Structure 1
Amino acid sequence: MSAARISQRISAIAESATLAVDAKAKALKAAGRPVIGFGAGEPDFPTPGYIVQAAIEAASQPKYHRYSPAGGLPELKQAIADKTFRDSGYQAAASQVLVTNGGKQAVYNTFATLLDPGDEVIVPTPFWTTYPEAIRLAGGVPVEVFAGPEQGYLVTVDQLEAALTERTKILLFVSPSNPTGAVYSPEQVREIGQWAASKGLWVVTDEIYEHLTYDGVPFTSIATAVPELGDKVVILNGVAKTYAMTGWRVGWMIGPADVIKAATNLQSHATSNVSNIPQVAALAAVSGPLTAVDEMKVAFDRRRKAIVAGLNAIDGVDCPTPKGAFYVYADVRALLGKEFPSANGPVRPATSAELAALILDEVEVAVVPGEAFGPSGYLRLSYALGDDDLATGVGRLQDFLGKAK
């Protein structure tokens, strides 16, 4: 019998649902269709000019035309350590930083470095679509712990305790959250961190939305709030969201020196160094002011309020107000099984995936279904798009979803 063409390991990976939705929306737009895309978590602002200028100047310097250390430019690693202490109070040396090709590589490197086959990772759910795939690729087992809108999409220690087994090695902790925008209070962060420390677990914390909180809600780094975790914590972060640099592909992981050394060894074979020009741009970003994100937050906050109000005006949609990031996570379970008009006659979507497909086909609005992040019955919408597009898109949703019978 002939061997399979594609390995089981890679065949088991699902395509990134958020990128798939965004790609389809952009393809339809390129074909001249008036699609409104709520799919990708991508600020619609340009990268600040001083960051772009740093990259332009770096491109003319021959030293950046050559290989550089696989773990990152030394000056960038130091700047990331300094920025982390400035923003969250967590102290790390430059040797504890690995610069990666975007946040996704930091996620994969971390799980590949920490997990052995069969090790379990507790994953608060709804989760960002890449986490469980990266865990599985590393041989681990994601264990989903679901928190619905009734509890603000925030898991409790009791839920985490119920998911704990002798194979549990890591707790994944994300606040502010993608996809829900939920933010844990300082008290909740400490309680969860102390629980993880008492169980001897590693904590992997993704802090890429640290600067995007609203209504006076503070960001709390679990690494700083719970010193009892000691050297069993890894921080993931990057410049993509804070500085509108999604396409520049610069992220990082911060952790114990031995873990960073091992992850750097992995990266030395996988990709070598991150492109030097974006590294210099990232250096300008993390060393500079937070003026850009402060300006973006004003727009995000305005859009946040508008999209929540617009979605909650639709019968059958329940959209909690997010406290962070730039997403809303709307509960549409009440709409499933209802009858909607379509070009091919009445349709009764049974899942949020079917509902999202119907919305794109009928009113050309791209949203991401809950299946990408956990259970069916929800839609994620990014409000990191222009005000006019947001208003148009929400208006189309109101008109179409309001026809449910």
Structure 2
Amino acid sequence: MKKYNLLLITPFYPPVESVATNRMVAFCKYLKHFNITVLTRSNKFHSDEMVDGVRVIRVPDRSLFKKATFNRKTNVFLHNIKALYNRILLFTQLDEYDGWRSSVFDYLNKNKPDVDVVLSSFAPISTHIIALYLKNLNKKIVWVADMRDHMSSNIFFPERYRKKIGHYEGEILSRADIITAVSKPIIEEFEGKTQRKDIIFLEIRNGYDFEPCFDNPSANSVWTVTYTGTFYGLRNPDNFLKVVKELLQQGDIDDIRINFVGVTKPMVVDELLKEKVHFFDKVSNKESIDHMRKSDALLLIHPTSELKGVYTGKLFEYIGVVRPILALVDPDDVAADLIKKGNFGFVADNNDIEGIKKCILKCYDLWKNGEKFNPDIELVKTCHRRFQVEILEKRLMEELEKR
């Protein structure tokens, strides 16, 4: 079978660690019928190398202002200053990768790529701007615009920024051949913004990328609950910790160990919980999964909002390690639907104190009584990234073979 040339445009590629990086690596790993070139970002020098059968071109980022990073050693004042700086950067710029985008254009003008497919992934918007440029140069290229999440409708973006990317959103919907996003509600939103009949819309979820664990592991001597990821905005563990404190004081649970892995935001923990809450610095994806596997339950937090279609980054890895999930999420959104459908855990709204209490006690009793956790094994398997990328590959091949 003929192999087509695919150019993947993204600043998120190893050694960068992020949920976005994991999605990009999965495209490279499971799109089997393509010769893949990744056009990505470098802090200093240009490089061109083969990595696991993928050509990786790293183009220097000449941006003057770059997003601030965080770690737990940063004090609260400096953390808030950094967060404010990032907010101002988002408000004043289209994105902080404009210097990288400029370098990429220079590279493309000197090195005309021979590609059949361009796959660009938002955020940042620069990836789509670069792909739009290539599509305008060669209309025969199949352009896959991976939106991932909401764009101009994202209420957490400043209004000025939403208007800026709204312009490009219209351009993308008028020129892209395939639009992908992580959930059906987001796909349906984009479908409603265009009258085009020839565009393909696909839900390509995130997923886990390791062998799932279907064994029933030995329980810890102390009930161990782990959260991996970061806290920001309204996403915080305040209500969870409040309920845990009440349950301990009332004697409804005997003891608990809470692991926060990769949390960079400084936190103040109640005196009663100080010896029970443990923080771990940001770790590799593999180490993060090891923490999950050694846990009795996994904590997922995403406050309810008007935005629908939010699975959150770690949900699928939680599913893949096959441990009960304590999900404090919108009960009427996709994450809750999937957890309920697969019997993957227990769901409550993050603002529902009584609901959180019931979820914790159900999950605790599962551990306390040594009961077997019985999720839908077949549904667990479909949450693997391989399964999701194969959906995209099938439609891509159909589209290419028509041309």
**What TM-score, normalized by structure 1, do the two folds share?**
0.29
Higher relative contact order (Cα pairs below 8 Å, separated by 6+ residues): 1
**What TM-score, normalized by structure 2, do the two folds share?**
0.29
